[in-house]
Structure 1
């Protein structure tokens, strides 16, 4: 579980990132979860945008993606979700201690 200080740190890192994935009318499916999981392994921190035509609530989409990828939900702001998952082989982000 991320502390408040760690979430603040990750939000500042994510500020300059562009969304990599978009969740649209089809919602979240297994293929998307696998692709997001692979991208998180490579990047650790990423933004995902929720399109206007998405039928599901943004909080539901965020929960599905976080659980499916075993990632931490850092932030939901507007229609953007920020996810973090520590990489096994490609660790780049060092989180501040509590």
Structure 2
């Protein structure tokens, strides 16, 4: 049995661009959640910094994540988010039982 892959994206918007980036990320949720390999795809905001966002994802396996990253909706997001994005820190992990 394959262990699900968890991804936490720490997303820093350019100064004052958090709401615009958040809107783009919210638009990414429904199509990403509809992907066969998606287990979780949840956006979180920092309570004290509107330019800091977190995406917590869980995928069936690495292949499912690769399919997501190649998807049309994700690639469109990458292009659309470029003007708003300051930093992106991706953390990949596997749950330890």
TM-score for the superposition, normalised by structure 2: 0.37
Q: Which has the larger radius of gyration?
A: 2
* Higher RCO structure, 1 or 2 (CA under 8 Å, sep 6+): 2
TM-score for the superposition, normalised by structure 1: 0.37
